[in-house]
C-alpha cells in the first residue's frame, strides 16, 4: 500500500468512508423510560444504523464505498470514474440529504415518562456526510469545475465541440472574444 499515490482529498474521503462504516454500528436512535415507583423498572434501548433501517445504513455504506473507491490507487488499482469528483460530490450530497431526512423523521418523545430520539451516531453520520460533500466539491472546483458546468463533468470531450491542445474541454455554446483564450473547463482527475 502506497499512500503517497493519494492526494489530500482522497485521504480525507478514505478516512471518512472508514469512519462512516464504524459509525453505522454506533447508536443512531435511543429510547429511555423511567420506572414507576418500584413497580416497573426504568431502562433504555438504542438501535444502530443497521437496525434503524435503509435510510440510516445506506448513506453510511455509500460513504464507505466512496472511501474504498478513492483509496484503490494506493493498492495499485487505477480506475476511471465518469465525472470524477463531481460524481463523488453528488453521491456525498445524496448521502447527506438522506441522513438529514432520517434524522428529521425519527419519532421524538420527551415527557415525564421518558424520551426517544436521535442519538450521537446520527449526528456523527451527518457530519461525515457534510465533510465528504465539502471535500468532493472543493476538489471539483480545484480542477476547474463550476456548478454552471456541472453536467459537463460527466461527458467526455467531444471533438465536434472542441478540445484545446492542452486537453481542456470547451463546453458547447461557449465562445471567446477574438484574441482571447476561450473559457475552458478541465476534466477533473479520474479516480
β partners of residue 48 = 27
3-class state of residue 15 by DSSP = helix
Task: Among 11-15, 31-35, 150-154, name the most confident range.
Answer: 11-15
- Is the pLDDT at 76 greater than 80? The verdict is yes
Q: What is the DSSP letter of 188?
A: P
Query: Whole-number mean pLDDT of the chain?
Result: 82
Q: What is the dihedral of CA 144, 147, 148, 153, to 10 degrees?
A: 60
Of 102 and 144, the structure prediction assigns the larger pLDDT to 102
Residue 165: pLDDT band (50, 70, 90) is very low
Mean pLDDT across 3-25: 94
Angle at 137 between CA 104 and CA 141, to 5 degrees: 155
As given in the structure block, the three cell numbers for residue 84 are: 470524477
Q: Determine the Cα–Cα distance for residues 180 and 67; give it in Å rounded to an integer.
A: 41
Q: Which of 24, 29, 30, 31 is nearest to 49 (CA)?
A: 24
Of 81 and 182, the structure prediction assigns the larger pLDDT to 81
Please tell me the least confidently modeled range out of 54-58, 66-70, 183-187.
Answer: 183-187
β partners of residue 33 = 43, 114
β partners of residue 178 = none
- The domains of the chain, with CATH numbers, are 3-154 (1.20.140)
pLDDT single digits (tens) 77-87: 888 888 889 99
Mean pLDDT across 50-63: 95
pLDDT single digits (tens) 106-153: 988 877 778 899 999 999 999 999 999 999 999 999 988 888 888 888
Identify whether the C-beta of residue 116 lies closer than 8 Å to the C-beta of residue 87.
no
Amino acid at each position: 500500500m502506497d499512500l503517497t499515490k493519494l492526494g489530500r482529498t482522497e485521504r480525507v474521503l478514505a478516512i471518512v468512508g472508514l469512519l462512516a462504516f464504524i459509525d453505522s454500528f454506533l447508536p443512531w436512535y435511543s429510547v429511555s423510560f423511567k420506572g414507576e415507583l418500584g413497580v416497573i423498572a426504568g431502562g433504555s434501548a438504542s438501535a444502530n444504523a443497521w437496525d434503524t433501517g435503509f435510510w440510516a445504513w445506506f448513506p453510511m455504506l455509500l460513504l464507505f464505498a466512496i472511501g474504498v473507491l478513492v483509496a484503490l490507487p494506493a493498492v495499485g488499482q487505477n480506475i476511471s470514474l465518469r465525472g470524477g469528483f463531481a460524481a463523488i460530490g453528488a453521491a456525498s450530497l445524496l448521502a447527506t440529504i438522506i441522513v438529514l431526512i432520517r434524522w428529521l423523521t425519527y419519532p421524538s418523545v420527551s415527557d415525564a415518562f421518558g424520551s426517544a430520539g436521535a442519538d450521537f451516531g446520527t449526528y456523527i453520520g451527518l457530519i461525515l456526510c457534510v465533510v465528504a460533500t465539502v471535500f468532493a466539491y472543493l476538489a471539483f472546483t480545484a480542477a476547474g469545475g463550476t456548478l454552471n458546468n456541472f453536467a459537463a463533468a460527466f461527458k467526455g470531450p467531444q471533438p465536434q465541440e472542441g478540445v484545446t491542445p492542452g486537453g481542456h474541454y470547451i463546453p458547447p455554446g461557449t465562445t471567446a472574444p477574438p484574441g482571447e483564450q476561450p473559457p475552458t473547463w478541465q476534466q477533473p482527475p479520474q479516480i
